[in-house]
Amino acid sequence: MRKIYLMLMLLFLSGLAVADAGAPVYNFKLSTIDGDPTTLGAYKGKVLLVVNVASACGFTPQYTALEAVYEKYKDKGLVIVGVPANNFANQESGTNATIKEFCSAKFHVKFPMMAKVSVKGDDKTPLYQYLTAAPNVGGEIKWNFTKFLIARNGQPIARFEPAVTPDSPQVISAIESALKP
């Protein structure tokens, strides 16, 4: 009987995940790097580039390009959202305070940074459960600095793997297209 109950619960929960696959990202709860609760609804109507970041990764220098892209396009409606995660080779082992200090001191990051979460595995945060299941952009996160572009309507429209830099023609073209009225 217990096995049947567990199977029914799994089917029910998987059905909920599929039902929410087309919902916008705005209701996902996160905390800022300072620990304040927020949702992505704070950026409703903006184009988002959501990036799982890490301080001790070979791709960490991408913070420079992320900040440059943010500065160039923020007044046109782009928000870059940094999401620290320690899922890959212990490359983000610091506290939120040390992550914030590192990003500020070394890369002068001004775009919004969230508190550290998990982007992979059994403890994957709901935002990343959604993003990795979303049509056309889904699939497990393979490494730090995977980038998801979210349209003004809250729908994921593009995904860029870690080796694709934020200032690459591919990413810039997608951002500019998403920013068009």
Give the start-to-end residue ranges of the domains of the chain. Answer: 24-179
The reply to whether 103 belongs to the active site is no
Under CATH, domain 24-179 is a member of which superfamily?
Answer: Glutaredoxin (3.40.30.10)
Ramachandran sector of residue 109 (left: φ over 0; alpha: ψ -120 to 50; beta: rest): beta
pLDDT over 90 at 125, yes or no:
yes
Chain segment 146-161, per-residue pLDDT in tens: 999 999 999 999 999 9
Query: Nearest Cα to 151, choosing from 122, 121, 175, 131?
Result: 175
Calpha distance 148→92 (Å, rounded): 19
Start-end of H helices in the chain? 2-19, 62-73, 96-107, 126-133, 169-179
**How many alpha carbons lie under 13 Å from residue 61 in its C-beta half-sphere?**
4
The mean predicted confidence, pLDDT, of the chain is: 90
User: Which member of 57, 151, 157, 164 is catalytic?
Assistant: 57
In what helix (H) or strand (E) does residue 53 lie, and over which residues does it extend? Answer: strand 47-53
**Average pLDDT value for residue range 20-35:** 87
pLDDT of residue 7: 38
The CA distances from residue 172 to 11, 46, 176, in Å, are 40, 16, 6
Percentage of the residues of the chain whose pLDDT score is greater than 90: 86
Place of tokens 């070394």: 106
